[in-house]
Amino acid sequence: MPHTPKSLPRSKTALMSIPRKLARATICLCGALLGACSMGQMVARSSLPIIESGNVAMNRETDLDLARAAIPANLKLVEGLIQELPDNADLRLQAAQGFYGYAYGFVEDEDNRRASGLYRRGWEHARQALAASGFQGDLAAMTTEELKRQLAGLSRRAVPALFWSASCWAKWIDMNRNDPARIADMGKAAELMERVLALDENYYHGGAHLFFGVYYGARPPMLGGDFERSAKHFEKARAITHGKLLLVDMLQAEYLAHQLLDRKQFHERLIAVVNAPSDIYPEMALVNAIAQQKAGRLLAKEEEWF
């Protein structure tokens, strides 16, 4: 790992030309800083606000082609910064969210295998963030009882890590519905999201409610589905986002209306999504554009599904 301050000798030479006292003081200061972190780490840390702003800008993007082309480079940049600051939870969360968004928006409808790999990477990053929030032990290996005990001890501070861990994990499982090893973890992913619901149901635009809308709406009752619960969660997500997040209607159509074989609801919700103005929710313009594109694809499946 390139954490050693390679540039130190050169800096020292350059400092010789400035008054001695000041130079000594500067060296002391640098030494103190460098003792705590490398040059790379310092640069990485100072770029965190830029990364954060970049994320905000990406969420406001309305051009899907531009977003599709730009996200991979951003992800690699974030992963590069993670090389410098592997324990930085914010960066890990940026990576998790980025991998999730890229896989969901641009990969999973075309390439299930590639999406599976991307969600998995997102999950690995989110797990690191979760560990930084005080979660101990191996999430995948522990029993459900142990998991519940640990979750009960987590505070609101852990919500982002819990949310992105659960989201990436559930999607990774979703991409592998023919693999018992993945299916077995679905209950645990749901436990993490239950904790989000309890700690902060508004986090990420009511994302936990969207999660459970899909969770209970995507299966028949015989396999654990619960249509009333699903509808209630979608309602809640809609209320939290004041009806501006198009993902809510799109997902309700894709999962609950499909599962209920309710063609009318399916059609009407998706048509509403497709026809919604593009500036309805500027902070979440990219997600809305993705929802609109997916709604169009789903409408093309109407004849086949109903």
Partner 1 sequence: MKKLFAVFLLLFLFPDAHAEEAYVLKFATLAPQGSTWMNIITDWANKVEKESQGRLKFKLYGGGVSGDEPDVLRKIRFGQLHGGAMTGHGIGYIYSPTRVLEIPFLFSSYDEVDHVRAQLMPEIREGFHQNGFELLGWMEVGFIQLFSRAPIYSIDDMKKSRIWLWQGDPLGTAFFEASGLSPVPLPITEVFTSLSTGLIDTTIAPPLGAIALQWFTKTPYMTSMPVMDGIGGLIVSRKFFDGLPNDLQKLLRRTGEEAGARLLVETRRDNEKSLAVLKQHGVTFTSEWKDKDSDLYDLRDRAAAILAKDGYIPAPLYEKARKSLNDYRAHKGKK
- Provide the binding-site residues for partner 1, judged by CB under 8 A: 112, 143-144, 174-175, 177-181, 183-184, 186-187, 218-225, 258-261, 304-305
| Shortest reach from residue 158's CB to partner 1, in Å | 22
| Shortest reach from residue 203's CB to partner 1, in Å | 25
Residue placing its CB nearer to partner 1 in the complex, 125 or 195: 195
d(CA 118, CA 108): 9
| Shortest reach from residue 79's CB to partner 1, in Å | 29
Taking residue 80's Cβ as centre, other Cβ atoms within 10 Å add up to 12
| Shortest reach from residue 181's CB to partner 1, in Å | 5
Residue placing its CB nearer to partner 1 in the complex, 87 or 109: 109
Residue placing its CB nearer to partner 1 in the complex, 134 or 187: 187
Nearest to 257 by CA among 212, 305, 294: 305
Residue placing its CB nearer to partner 1 in the complex, 73 or 141: 141
Residue placing its CB nearer to partner 1 in the complex, 70 or 142: 142
| Shortest reach from residue 198's CB to partner 1, in Å | 17
Q: Which residues contact 21 (CB under 8 A, 6 or more apart)?
A: none
Residue placing its CB nearer to partner 1 in the complex, 16 or 181: 181
| Shortest reach from residue 151's CB to partner 1, in Å | 14
